[in-house]
Amino acid sequence: MSPPPRQLALKLDHAENYAREDFLSGPCNEEALRLIDCWPDWPANAIALVGPEGSGKTHLASIWAADAGARVVSARATTEADLPSALATGALVVEDAAAAADERALFHLINLAREQNAFLLFAARTAPATWPVAIADLRSRLRALPVVTLQAPGDAILRAVLVKLAADRQMTIDEALVNYLASRIERSFAAARTIVVRLDQEALRQRRPVTRVLASELIGGDRRA
């Protein structure tokens, strides 16, 4: 007798909640959160928010964008022609800022924001001083940017993030499963997101509940999910 066909997991979009009340604060991000909360009393009109993938940059930038009425643009797609409209509200989030394709646009953006007393929040994985730029004046401006760095999450935050990510996907996970996952994945928000997505997809595919048994089948003895 042939085995039953495997259930295909549909790739549905699951929006994460980026409201202020959904942000999980702790020692790894408290400095960055204070920066967002103290706007417009920033030490400079342009700030760099730096951290690895999944560290909370997008969530913090979304909180600030809502408060400041900021537009959000991708550094990869920003050109000089876009600058006046991008700064129209007096505040702008530049995502993936280290990957700016147009150095002149980035240089003129910083200058224009200063002239207009507008605010810039650059989100990137690396500090501006390390970005590979050829324009000397741009390098100088980037090195002068105040930088706030997001650190790796502690145990309590990592567990809370796992619960939040599961809730965003309408998944219920118990404390035993949370503890099991937190002790076996890399200590990062990105790893937490990856394992929650994998669990959700595998549970849908197999038509099984999300349990520690399922998690152990996915990650086994490997401590990095």
CATH of the domain at 113: 3.40.50.300
One digit per residue, the tens of pLDDT, for the chain of length 225 reads 444 333 333 344 455 667 777 787 888 899 999 999 999 999 999 999 999 887 889 999 999 999 999 999 999 989 999 999 999 999 999 999 999 889 999 999 999 999 999 999 999 999 999 999 999 999 999 999 999 999 888 888 899 989 999 998 999 899 999 999 999 998 888 888 899 999 999 999 999 999 999 999 988 744 444
77 and 125 assigned to the same domain: yes
So what's the pLDDT on residue 8? 35
Instruction: Assess whether 61 and 117 both reside in one domain.
Output: yes
Helix (H, G, I), strand (E, B) or coil at 173: coil
- Confidence (pLDDT) at 2: 42
Query: Which SS3 state, helix, strand or coil, does residue 182 take?
Result: helix
CA distance 40 to 53: 26
One domain for residues 209 and 185: yes
Tell me the CATH number at 206: 1.10.8
The answer to whether 145 and 44 are in contact (CB under 8 A) is yes
Instruction: Tell the residue number behind the tokens 């007096």, with chain if given.
Output: 90
CB 96 within 8 A of CB 31: no
In contact, 94 and 79? CB cutoff 8 Å: no
Read off the pTM: 0.75
Whether residues 71 and 138 fall in one domain:
yes
**DSSP 8-state symbol, 102:** -
Query: What pLDDT is stored for residue 16 in this prediction?
Result: 62
Do both 141 and 121 map to the same domain?
Answer: yes
Specify the pLDDT at position 113. Answer: 97
What is the residue range of 88's domain? 29-149
Beta strands in the chain (DSSP E): 46-50, 71-74, 91-95, 119-124, 147-149
Same domain, 103 and 180: no
